[in-house]
Amino acid sequence: MRTAFTELVGVRHPIVQTGMGWVAGPRLVSATARAGALGILASATMTTERLRAAVREVKSRTDEPFGVNLRADAGDARERVRIIIDEGVAVASFALAPSKELITELKDAGVVVIPSIGARRHAEKVAAWGADAVIVQGGEGGGHTGEVATTVLLPQVVDAVDIPVVAAGGFHDGRGLVAALAYGAAGIAMGTRFLLTSDSTVPDAVKARYLAAGVKDVTVTTAVDGLPHRMLRTEMVAALEHAGRARALAQAVRRAAGFRRTFGIGWSRMVRDGLAMKHGKDLSWSQVLLAANTPMLLKASMVDGRTDLGVMASGQVAGLIEDLPSCAELVERVMAQAHAALGALPPARGAPGGGTGQRRGGGDDARRV
């Protein structure tokens, strides 16, 4: 299934595995790439040394293209960009809108730049700055998310920009891929669905919590870092939501100390990062500290298996997922479902010779396939 996205990044299928912290490591990314989709390494939870090693590990496992996700507001963002360029990574993905200068630096080196955005105006901004494509996440998506549903946000963005749009938030199967294509997207991005594969390194007990969750067990809370964060409803989330300011601050300081030890970051840098995050936002200092070390809350669950001490970012689709296929099985299944869904559509009125009426070719039309 050729689309403008597959042509842009050189993958066989219009599917992206998102850069989930502590989840999207070399094993998952290389398995996704071998399956013909675009795997994206999550670098925000890696030191720069670990990032370089992870990139080389993926390249030792596959010759297929893959990407690296990074935070544009990180103090060492330019160093991470340099690693992406030096190591010949095909795609740079950003959790926040990168600056025009970063986009230019990457594009001049031949790297495809695909920021993730959650609003039409952000898509317009990065498109004007030269981004090659955008991933647009609706409110159904896991982690930090917005209030606008994918079915409303996606067509807004498709109509606003002239670059390939990849839809995220609420996707887990081939029917969703066909729906996204019908809206004008050039592919879909999935996080929770790839987290729940046999290639994911997330502990089995944590995967079991996801599989047992219903749609109503996925909630949005601001208690973690003051920003809307979609995750599984757990005892830990409830404790954060009901903790008083003093208790929340004590918990935040304790976890910040752990974050500092793990990443070798000094308190002064954490304070600077906290001030940057607090700027323009109504955050308490406990929320600022939690925002600075949210990666440790995710690590507790995604790496250590301590769901009682950590949080589990999750899209609403967790309530629909029931199994743990390999990445290869998942991608093959999604594509088979998509082709079946296309074949089951009634003929478009007036379409000669019947058929689905869907545009499925490449070339100039592929961007809107």
Q: Does residue 178 share a domain with residue 29?
A: yes
Answer whether residue 252 is part of any domain.
yes
Kind of pairing, strands 218-221 and 229-232? antiparallel
Asked if pLDDT for residue 302 goes beyond 80, the answer is yes
What is the rounded CA–CA span in Å between residue 160 and residue 154? 10
CA-to-CA distance for 346 and 10, rounded, in angstroms? 31
> Has residue 7 got a pLDDT over 80?
yes
Residues 339 and 312 placed together within one structural domain of the fold: no
- Assess if residue 199 is contained within a domain: no
Ramachandran class of 10: left when φ > 0, alpha when ψ lies in -120 to 50, beta otherwise: left
Domain closes at, from 280, 299, 317: 317
Record the pTM. Answer: 0.87
Give the lowest-confidence range in 90-104, 214-228, 234-248.
Answer: 234-248
- Number of domains making up the chain: 2
pLDDT tens readout for residues 246-264: 666 666 666 666 655 655 6
Same domain, 185 and 53: yes
Do 72 and 173 belong together in one domain? yes
pLDDT at 356 over 50: no
Q: Are residues 312 and 330 in the same domain?
A: no
Q: Which residues pair with 189 in a beta bridge?
A: 16, 168
Looking at the fold, whether 103 and 235 belong to one and the same domain comes out as no
User: Do 118 and 226 fall into the same domain?
Assistant: no
DSSP symbol at 215: G
Residues 11 and 75 in one domain: yes
- pLDDT of 31 over the 60 cut: yes
Identify the domain containing residue 338 by its residue range. Answer: 4-190+325-368
